[in-house]
Chain A
Amino acid sequence: MKQTNKGFRIGAHIILGIVSLIVIIPFLLLVSSSFTKEQTLIAAGYSILPRELSFEAYRYLFAGAGNIFKAYGITFLVTAVGTAAGLLMTVLLAYALSVDGLPFRKGISFFVFFTMLFNGGLIPTYMMYTNVFHIKNTIAALIVPSLMVNAFFVIIARSYFMSSIPSAVLEAARIDGIGEIRLFFEIVLPMSLPIVATIGLMIGLGYWNNWTNGLYYVTDHNLYSVQQLLTEMVRNMQALQSGEMAGLDPAAVKNLPSTSLRMATAVMSVLPVMLIYPLFQKYFVKGITVGAVKG
């Protein structure tokens, strides 16, 4: 019986090893292409290990080719501002909904929760943001629509506040006459760092990876985020190859980045996430499982 267990365990290692390879190989393809000489790429295609090592693409990249610095700046700014504002709004609302005896608490909770069940869809949202708020081609277009406050995170944070902050602590603080806002920032928040970190990471990842807001609301190249820049690079390449030249910006064709430069840009957009991920893996995993257990 011990024998079968051992056999099964070896089988498990083999299958998980294969799955890990299937996950990793595409990453290797991306990274090694960014380190391969352009001529080799054109002649022999992408490869899992670089055929002819070259740092040319990165040299171009760091020399500021292809607007990459500007796009990075936009992505950093949008992620920082969006995450800070979104996280603050989320936890403040979550705390308010966790306060016992708050009049209309049920109604407000429903108001929040209902947004998870029903939405107006892209077209009314687009019409409102462009025609009423005139958000097109502004930095706000990358920060405000759809990403800031997610009802799901509000509900997760609220249940954390309700279950993990002893009400005796709150009562004692209130008897001492501390104001609600100070109470939240000085007592509740420091006691809730794990959930705040988890939600902050999730919101931050959402901003960093977002490309839809750019696609819907931004046509000005000066406001391109890294993701939007990448989208455009591959579209131009594809259009060029399939001969759909009509409607293509001639300037964009002339400045068409080389294949390896494109891959290097993609690598640089993934790198910060990959660097942060191992440090905060605990919180990522928590974010996933806490969601599954329900708020």
Chain B
Amino acid sequence: MRKKARRYAPIYLMALPALLYLLINNYIPMGGMVIAFKNYQYNKGIWGSSWSGFKNFEFLFKTNDAWTITRNTILYNLAFILLDTIMAITLAILLNEIRSKKMKKFYQTVMLLPYLLSMVIVSYLVYGFLSPDQGYVNKTILAALKSDGQNWYARAGIWPFVLVFVHMWVIVGYNSIIYFSTLVGIDRSFYEAADVDGASMWQKICFITIPNLKPTMVTMCLLSIGRIFYSDFGLFYQVPLNSGALYDVTSTIDTYVYRGLMQSSNVGMSSAAGVYQSLVGFMLVLFANWIVNKISRENALF
């Protein structure tokens, strides 16, 4: 026993800093979720404030906000999952057809670039196109068509398309590399056999490539479905420049929680929204993982 303790003590010591960090950064805030059930007052703190039961949740779900942010979060995620997957697989298949090693590397390098940017920079790039005074769309494209420029940051109608496009622009190279690495692993002899049988390119894609990609595709989609209650805060906060005129189509649960905390000081309702997100999100992860487990055991998270 003593010997065992001495043998493993240094190992526990090595684990300790990171475990302490996770305890503070991740576990204590879980306990702090009780704030959603309190009548929070700054001067009394979380523990001093009185209990309010489910009042905050009642208020939240009585507003239109709850519906808007849930709808936006889920619909955007569904659009992302569908379009990003189709696009990423298409690009991976095309990339796989390129014989020249140099060009292959070039395309990969370029397509991965957006993933390295912060959302602040992405918002600058979007602003470069959509800025009302100096943007490329107003000043160059619309001017050439003799059309009047628009204040894009006040026109809600275009933003669902802008955000879906921007998300695709950022993530598609990243996702296609994942699919591409699966493609590289497909046994070449399948294709050679198909060539002997005179299969067309299209037939080879439909009957060899896609079926081989299916496990990766299913896993990636299910994991995204597990995250469907979460949104990329930067995409919905930075890219529309937090413009008030666009809140109806750019508010997600994450931006709502942030604004409740920092801008409108509505801690009660936004912490209720946070708990709503954590709990539903948690159930969805478990559910998605349960399905992955049924389909392909080795791809499950746990």
**Residues on the A chain within 8 Å of B98, using CB:** 9, 12-13, 16
Count A-B contacts at CB 8 Å: 278
Does A122 have its Cβ within 8 Å of any Cβ on chain B? yes
Stretch at the interface among B57-65, B74-82, B101-109: B101-109
**Residues on the A chain within 8 Å of B145, using CB:** none
Does B207 have its Cβ within 8 Å of any Cβ on chain A? no
Does B22 have its Cβ within 8 Å of any Cβ on chain A? yes
Report which A residues bind B (CB closer than 8 A): 1, 4-5, 8-9, 11-13, 15-16, 19-20, 22-24, 26-27, 29-30, 33, 41-42, 44-48, 88-90, 92-93, 95-97, 99, 102-103, 108, 111-113, 115-128, 131, 144-146, 148-149, 151, 154, 179-181, 184, 205, 208-212, 216, 227, 230-231, 234-235, 238, 241-242, 259, 262-263, 266, 269-270, 273-274, 277-278, 281, 284-285, 288-289, 292, 294
Residue pair B121, A12 in contact (C-beta under 8 Å): no
**Residues on the A chain within 8 Å of B10, using CB:** 179-181
Report which B residues bind A (CB closer than 8 A): 4, 8, 10-15, 17-19, 21-22, 24-33, 35, 45-46, 90-91, 94-95, 97-99, 103, 106-114, 116-121, 123-129, 131-136, 138-140, 151, 153-154, 169, 173-174, 177-178, 181, 195, 198, 200-201, 216, 220, 233-234, 238, 241-243, 254, 257-258, 260-262, 267, 270-271, 274-275, 277-278, 281-282, 285-286, 298-299, 301-302
Q: How far is the CA of A1 from the CA of B103 in the complex (A)?
A: 23
Q: How far is the CA of A29 from the CA of B126 in the complex (A)?
A: 10
Residue pair A121, B277 in contact (C-beta under 8 Å): yes
Nearest B residue to A208 via CB reads B118
From A33, A47, A292, contact of B181 by CB (8 A):
A292
Nearest B residue to A238 via CB reads B241
Give the Cβ gap from B31 to chain A, nearest Cβ, in Å.
Answer: 7
Q: How far is the CA of A216 from the CA of B237 in the complex (A)?
A: 13
Residue pair A119, B26 in contact (C-beta under 8 Å): yes
The 8 closest A-B pairs by CB, nearest first: A45-B139, A124-B32, A120-B29, A209-B118, A121-B274, A93-B18, A96-B15, A124-B29
Q: How far is the CA of A154 from the CA of B98 in the complex (A)?
A: 35
**Residues on the A chain within 8 Å of B113, using CB:** 23-24, 27, 274, 277
Residue pair B124, A118 in contact (C-beta under 8 Å): no
Please list 22 pairs of residues, one from A and one from B, whose beta carbons are closer than 8 Å in the complex, sorted by A's number.
A1-B195, A12-B98, A16-B91, A26-B169, A29-B129, A45-B139, A46-B131, A46-B134, A89-B21, A92-B17, A119-B278, A121-B257, A124-B28, A124-B274, A126-B261, A149-B21, A154-B18, A209-B117, A211-B118, A266-B121, A277-B113, A284-B112
Q: How far is the CA of A41 from the CA of B200 in the complex (A)?
A: 52
**Residues on the A chain within 8 Å of B198, using CB:** 1
**Residues on the B chain within 8 Å of A231, using CB:** 120, 238
Residue pair A19, B15 in contact (C-beta under 8 Å): no
Give the Cβ gap from B49 to chain A, nearest Cβ, in Å.
Answer: 11
Q: Most chain-A Cβ atoms within 10 A of its Cβ — which of B10, B108, B260? A: B10
Residue pair B128, A148 in contact (C-beta under 8 Å): no
**Residues on the B chain within 8 Å of A48, using CB:** 136
Give the Cβ gap from A135 to chain B, nearest Cβ, in Å.
Answer: 11
Residue pair A42, B134 in contact (C-beta under 8 Å): yes
Give the Cβ gap from A12 to chain B, nearest Cβ, in Å.
Answer: 4
Q: How far is the CA of A238 from the CA of B154 in the complex (A)?
A: 11
Q: How far is the CA of A153 from the CA of B113 in the complex (A)?
A: 22
**Residues on the B chain within 8 Å of A180, using CB:** 10-11, 14
Residue pair B108, A285 in contact (C-beta under 8 Å): yes
Nearest A residue to B139 via CB reads A45
Given contacts A23-B173, A92-B15, A180-B14, contact A124 B35 (CB under 8 A): yes
Nearest B residue to A21 via CB reads B110
Give the Cβ gap from A124 to chain B, nearest Cβ, in Å.
Answer: 3
Q: How far is the CA of A120 from the CA of B121 in the complex (A)?
A: 28
**Residues on the B chain within 8 Å of A44, using CB:** 139
Given contacts A1-B198, A9-B99, A47-B136, contact A108 B120 (CB under 8 A): no
